[in-house]
Amino acid sequence: MVGLAVAVAAIGAVSGAVSALGGGGGVSARPQVTRSPTLAPLPAVPSPTPTRASRTPRPAPTTAPSLAPQPSASPSKPAQAVSAALYTSPDSQVLDWIRNHPDDPRRPLIERRIADRPAAVWFTEYDPDKITGEVRQVTSAAADEGRTPVLVPYTIPGRDCGGASRGGAPDLAAYDGWIRNFSAGLGRSPVIVILEPDAIAQSDCLSDSDRTARFTSLAGAGRSIHAADPSARVYFDAGHSAWRDAEEMATLLRAAGAATSGDGIFTNVSNFNTTADEVAYARRVLAALGGPARLGAVIDTSRNGRGAPPDGQWCDPAGRSLGRAPTTDTGQERIDAYLWVKTPGEWDGCRGAAGTFSPEYAYDLAR
C-alpha cells in the first residue's frame, strides 16, 4: 500500500499485479444500485482449524506497504486459532510452491502457518467478460463449505497513482461496468469485500474533479454489491494508523460514501502496524465518520506480529512476523474481523518482484 502520497502499496501491488485467479484477474463490474439493504451479521466463528481441499493453485496478488513513517512497536504473539467461518481458497502462489516442493524442509512450517489459513482472493485484471465467472467460482466454492470468502476488487483506474501496482480499468465508466459484473458473481451468501485498497487514502495524485468522480464510482460500487448480495459486507479504504489523521481520513471516506454505501472501513492492508494501534485508529476514524452504529472495521494482521520496523522501512522489511490469525471473532467492539488481506510471503517489490511468492520470506515470517 502506499504511504503518505507515494503509491505502492495497494493490495496486489505487483510489477504487473498478479490475478488471484489463475490466468486472469477476477471479477466483473458491479451493478449500480439505488439502495443499501440491511446486512446480516457475520457468521459465527467456530474454533477448529479448517482442512484444505484439493486445489489447483492460482497466483494471488500482493501489495506494497505504505511509504509513511511507521511507529515502532513491541512484538505481539500471533493467535493460534483460525476462524472456520472464513474461506481458504485452494488457489494461491503459496500452495503452488508447496505442491511443487514436497521435500523442502521449510514446507511443513509454511504450509501449517500460512497456506492452511484463510487469505483474501484478489481480482486485479480488467476482464469484464470473465470477471463474473471468476467471482462465482470463489463464492460458490465458499458457499458449498458454509464459509465466508474475502474478496478484493482492485481495478480502479489510476491504481496506485502509477506506482508498482499501476493498472486498472481504462476509465471510470469501464470500471462501473466491471464492478457490476463482479457483483453479478457474488451469489446470495455472506462475503466480505475489501473495496479497492488505497483508492481513498491515496487519492492525492488526482485532481479535485477526478477525485470526486472516483469517489462517486466507489459509492456506486458499494451499492451495486449490496444490491446483488444483501449478505455482503463492503469495507472502504481507511489507510492505516501511521498515514492520515483520523478526522482527515473520515472526511475522505464520507465523500466516498463509506457511511451510506458501505459497512465500515479496512486498515493496515499490506502494512505492519500493530493490531492495537490499528484498533485505536479504526475507532477514531469510525467516530469521526459518523453514520449508522453498525459500521465496523476490519484490520489486515497478516504481517504485523512484531509491528512496523523502527526505521520506517515499508518495503520487504526484515525481522517481521505473522500477526493474529484470520478470524471474525475479535472480542473487540466495532472490530468485525482480523484478516489476511495480503498473503504472507509475497514480496512488496524491493527484495523481489512485487506480488511474487518467496519461500525464504514466508519462512522468516512464519518462524
Give the three cell numbers for residue 153: 476488487
Q: What is residue 264's DSSP assignment?
A: E
Q: Is 160 a catalytic residue?
A: yes
Q: Is 348 a catalytic residue?
A: yes
Which residue type does 162 have? G
DSSP-assigned states of every residue in 49-82: PPP----------------S---B----PPP---
Q: Rounded to the nearest 5°, which phi and psi values hold at 177?
A: -70, -40
Among 127, 198, 237, 300, the active-site one is 198
3-state secondary structure of 247: helix
Among 96, 160, 277, 336, the active-site one is 160
Is residue 335 within a helix (H) or strand (E), and if so which, with residue range? strand 335-339
Among 91, 277, 300, 348, the active-site one is 348
Q: Are strands 29-30 and 150-153 parallel, antiparallel or unpaired?
A: unpaired
Give the three cell numbers for residue 199: 483508492
Q: Is 116 a catalytic residue?
A: no
Longest Cα–Cα distance of the chain, Å, equals 55
Beta-carbon contacts of 112 under 8 Å, excluding residues fewer than 6 positions away, are none
CA distance 234 to 33: 14
Give the three cell numbers for residue 88: 481458504
- Catalytically active residues, by annotation: 160, 198, 348
